[in-house]
Amino acid sequence: MEREAALKLVKEQLTEHRYQHTLGVMETAISLANQYGADVKKAELAAIFHDYAKFRPKEEMKEIIVSQGFPTDLLDYNSELWHAPVGAYLVEKEAGITDSDVLDAIRFHTSGRPGMTLLEKIIYLADYIEPGRHFPGVDEVRDMAKENLDRALLKAVQNTILFLMKKNQTVYPDSFYTYNDLVKNRGID
């Protein structure tokens, strides 16, 4: 799918603010893909569609999680997580995108997972550091992303977990598993 067609489909699903965020994620993902040798077209497409289901009704997302056999423990955690796996499903169903690399990058952009692919890392990180994001720690992660993708990803995951803990919110296990995987298996000190 070409960029303009994809953006048109996505724009219909998002608020103007979230659409601007999506454009920032797209540009950041393209830049990271070029820097780290990922497929630029796949990065562009995954970035464009990463928040496709962000504003779907919670009841619709719940129904999809249950009916499509997604891990139902998702329902025990913050609903902000739901749009990622539901989005991957809807992007395939409604936009006709079947590339598993693109769909997995969408699916895991909120929680991460152990053994993340290069494309998955890029979309997770692009979502975190796009230019419209302004919160404590984001500039440090932006700087790290210029030097080492895995270190930047680790810092983003750490920051996210700590943010949730400080707010006394639950943390989805895949986020902890992602953190552990990055520390143990990627040689990050």
Tell me the two tokens of residue 48: 């464009």
Give phi and psi for 178, each to the nearest 5.
-65, -50
pLDDT of residue 144 exceeding 70: yes
What pLDDT sits at residue 99? 98
Query: Mean pLDDT throughout 185-189?
Result: 62
Tell whether 155 is covered by a domain: no
Average per-residue pLDDT for the chain? 96
Tell whether 158 is covered by a domain: no
Whether 126 and 46 have beta carbons less than 8 Å apart is answered as no
Tell whether 156 is covered by a domain: no
Query: Mean pLDDT throughout 97-123?
Result: 97
Burial class (CB in 10 A: 0-12, 13-18, 19+), 117: middle
Domain range for 10 is 3-136
Whether 86 and 58 have beta carbons less than 8 Å apart is answered as no
Whether 43 and 119 have beta carbons less than 8 Å apart is answered as yes
Burial class (CB in 10 A: 0-12, 13-18, 19+), 58: exposed
pLDDT of residue 182 exceeding 80: yes
- CA–CA dist 30, 32 (Å, integer): 6
Residue 155, amino acid: K
CATH of residue 32? 1.10.3210.10
Give phi and psi for 68, each to the nearest 5.
-95, 5
Tell whether 189 is covered by a domain: no
- CA–CA dist 64, 58 (Å, integer): 10
Tell me the two tokens of residue 142: 């932006």
Tell whether 162 is covered by a domain: no
pLDDT of residue 47 exceeding 90: yes
Angle between helices 16-36 and 118-129 (to 10 degrees): 130
Tell whether 187 is covered by a domain: no
Interior/surface letters 22-32, b for 16+ CB within 10 angstroms, e for the rest: bbbbbebbbbb
Tell whether 77 is covered by a domain: yes
pLDDT of residue 146 exceeding 70: yes
pLDDT of residue 189 exceeding 60: no
Rounded to the nearest 5 degrees, what angle is found at the Cα of 159, between the Cα atoms of 128 and 167?
110
Domain total in the chain: 1
Give the residue from 81, 98, 94, 44 showing the smallest Cα distance to 173. 81
Tell whether 20 is covered by a domain: yes
pLDDT of residue 10 exceeding 80: yes
